[in-house]
Amino acid sequence: MPPTDNQGSFLNRISIRRNQVVSMDVNHEQELEELELFQKHVSDRFLQLLPPQSPLPSSTGEETDVVDTPERLLSIAWFRKLLDVYLCCESEFKAVLIIGRDATHFSKPPLDRLLPDHLDRTVKALDICNAITHGIELIRHWQRLAQIAVDALEQRPIVEGHVRRAKRALNTLLTSMTTDDKEQNVHPGKLAERMWSISRRGGGGSAPPTVNHNRRISDNSPTIITLVSRSLSSSFTKSWSASKQIQAMCANLVAPRGGDSTGLSLPVYLMSSVLVFVMWTLVAAVPCQERVGSGTHIQLPRHLVWTHPMILLQEKIGEECKKKEKKGTVGLLAEIQVIEKVAQSLVEFAEGFEFPVGGEKADEVAAQVMELVEICRKLEVGLGPLQLQVRELFHRMVRSRAEVLDVMDVVGKINTNVLY
């Protein structure tokens, strides 16, 4: 019996439905492939940050060798590489999250909760960038003091006047390094003029201003311009704490489970973890207001491939934090660790100085001065580009936040009930 028109219509609907299912399967497979590739890229980038000859634990429990890297852990060169890694991860994250996606996904659980949490962490990270800028300016001050000592001790012969001048500069440097963290970065004047972050509203509370995630904020918006202008005339309040900012960023940072672990929740969690890790590392290394206590580890699951190099880095940096865990400790940046060590040794020389200096002692002092010269050179060459990268990081986060808010605005308009 030939098919009737109704039968033909029914078969056509079946065929269309089958094509839709196939299309959904293809899209789902493509999404899984993108997520897997994103995780691999993040893992590979952080793998390059590991110190030379560091073993990398694999998901099977075995250890694999990592590629040697010339940058010393926690050095300026290493931090410049770390910030490059973050910027690369952030660009790929936006591509995975936004490009070709149905915007309505952002209004459904769990993204409707995870995205605002991520944007909150971004705002806190902007303030940390602010504090890091202060810290870099403080390191510049230490570099100038070290250079004064170098200029004095390079004179030949070394006489008492040269030694006194070097001792004064080095004592000032060491005193600044051991000052209570609350006072280290509260500098009016020139340092305040270099601030570009979002400043606090009103009083001295440690919490950042409330953020309306349904409101679009871009680089050129009046809100950002007003906040940036306001920040140029004021510094952090004394109650602001870098360590508390890190702790707040870690709140609710939980790995997705079940079906969420294969959806868009995973890249949001991944990027939040990378953001917290980068900020935690910067706070640990660069002198910041109230940074003591920031050595708490970020809880990262070991079953995800991209967490392995981050966990190993965190453990190594945590070991350095424990060595220097004391009130008012200097940051873990490799260059300022060397300055502190050499400055203490040269102060001891100055306190026991007798003219003329013996040949063996003169050689020892000359070697220490040369070490200080090399560190001053590294600071002179590296601090400027590092500060520019922190600035770029700041503005990139502002732009990315605005782009996500744009998508959320679209979702809000779609979900708005239209009255007829």
Mean of per-residue pLDDT scores for the chain: 78
Nearest-angstrom CA–CA distance, 172 and 170: 5
Question: What digits encode the pLDDT tens for the residues 359-374?
Answer: 888 899 999 999 999 9
Question: What digits encode the pLDDT tens for the residues 149-188?
Answer: 999 999 988 899 999 999 999 999 999 988 644 454 444 3
Whether 180 contacts 327, CB under 8 Å: yes
What pLDDT does 345 receive?
95
Taking each helix axis as running N to C, give the angle between helix 334-351 and helix 76-97, from 0 to 180 degrees, rounded to the nearest 10.
160
Question: What digits encode the pLDDT tens for the residues 18-73?
Answer: 444 444 444 668 888 889 999 999 999 999 999 876 555 544 455 544 444 457 89
Question: What digits encode the pLDDT tens for the residues 100-159?
Answer: 777 777 888 888 899 999 999 999 999 999 999 999 999 999 999 999 999 999 998 889
What pLDDT does 318 receive?
87
Question: What digits encode the pLDDT tens for the residues 184-217?
Answer: 444 433 433 333 333 333 333 333 333 344 444 3
418: left (phi over 0), alpha (psi -120 to 50) or beta: beta
Facing residues of 56 across strands? 64
Residue 379's nearest CA partner among 54, 164, 77 is: 77
What is the DSSP code (8-state) at residue 32?
H
Structure tokens given for 390: 């922190």
What pLDDT does 20 receive?
44
What pLDDT does 198 receive?
30
Residue 200's nearest CA partner among 301, 308, 127, 122 is: 127
Coil vs helix vs strand at 49: coil
Question: What digits encode the pLDDT tens for the residues 242-272?
Answer: 989 999 999 889 998 876 666 889 999 999 9
pLDDT higher than 70, residue 377: yes
What pLDDT does 211 receive?
39
Question: What digits encode the pLDDT tens for the residues 271-297?
Answer: 999 999 999 999 999 998 877 655 566
CB atoms within 10 A of CB 396: 16
Domains of the chain, by residue range, sit at 28-415
Nearest-angstrom CA–CA distance, 130 and 132: 5
* Residues counted in the chain: 420
In this prediction, residues 374-387 reach a mean pLDDT of 96
In this prediction, residues 333-346 reach a mean pLDDT of 94
In this prediction, residues 325-341 reach a mean pLDDT of 81
